């Protein structure tokens, strides 16, 4: 049993480090794409930049609140770690890290959302549950201030660290998407 447990831990750490690497690359690629786009057309001025202390005045303990949930989930449901990192990965590849993958389809709605795309249909429910639990805790302390996109990014960071990976700062200030359209998901 000890050998299997050790193998699973190594496999999880390897998977999490891979997702960490990809999430770093996504930011790099998005920055390059953004710079290339600026040369082609004028963009709407940005109101703010992402920063490590974005919620310092409005919700200073947001990192600790999210960490409370992720630590409990990692202990009680270890699969939620990899599932949340995978969810973050899928969210960031469509229109950036804006939590659009979290938007659920409406009953009887005609719009097909990102969750409905074949590649996203098998995203684990543990990931969505983790974000919902973290969002509920954060909302109870800082109502209406912290975005789901930032909570998802912080939760992914926490799970990387809990699995033995590096602990890194997450720049915050992302805006949540108001729409989710399956047509924006690229094959």
Per-residue pLDDT reduced to its tens digit, 40-68: 444 544 556 899 999 999 999 999 999 99
Nearest in space to 60 (alpha carbons), one of 69, 52, 49, 68: 52
Q: Give 15-35 pLDDT, tens digit per residue.
A: 555 555 445 544 443 444 444
Residue 114 assigned as binding residue: yes
Domain locations along the chain: 2-184
Q: Does 96 appear as a known binding residue?
A: yes
Annotated binding residue at 180? Answer: no
Active-site residue identified among 48, 61, 90, 161: 90
Active site residue 61: no
Q: Is 33 exposed, middle or buried (0-12, 13-18, 19+ CB in 10 A)?
A: exposed
Architecture (CATH level 2) of domain 2-184: Orthogonal Bundle (1.10)
Q: How far apart are CA 187 and CA 181, in angstroms?
A: 14
pLDDT of residue 56: 96
pTM of the model: 0.73
Does residue 34 have a known ligand-binding role?
Answer: no
Quote the mean pLDDT of the chain: 79
177 CB-near residues (< 8 Å, 6+ apart): 95, 98, 99, 100, 103, 149
Mean pLDDT over 76-96 rounds to 90
Q: pLDDT tens, 116-140? A: 777 777 889 899 999 999 999 999 9
pLDDT band of 104, cuts 50, 70, 90: confident
């Amino acid at each position: 049993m000890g050998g299997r447990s050790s193998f699973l831990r190594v496999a999880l750490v390897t998977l999490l480090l891979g997702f960490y690497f990809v999430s770093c690359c996504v930011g790099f690629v998005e920055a390059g794409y953004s710079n290339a786009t600026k040369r082609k057309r004028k963009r709407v001025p940005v109101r703010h930049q992402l920063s490590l202390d974005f919620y310092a005045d409005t919700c200073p303990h947001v990192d600790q609140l999210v960490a409370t949930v992720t630590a409990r989930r990692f202990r009680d449901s270890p699969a939620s770690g990899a599932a949340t990192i995978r969810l973050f990965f899928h969210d960031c590849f469509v229109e950036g890290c804006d939590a659009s993958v979290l938007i659920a389809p409406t009953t009887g709605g005609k719009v097909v959302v990102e969750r409905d795309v074949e590649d996203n249909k098998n995203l684990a429910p543990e990931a969505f549950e983790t974000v919902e639990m973290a969002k509920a805790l954060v909302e109870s302390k800082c109502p209406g201030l912290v975005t789901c996109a930032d909570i998802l990014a912080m939760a992914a960071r926490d799970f990387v660290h809990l699995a033995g990976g590096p602990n890194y700062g997450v720049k915050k200030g992302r805006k949540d998407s108001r729409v989710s359209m399956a047509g924006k998901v690229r094959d």
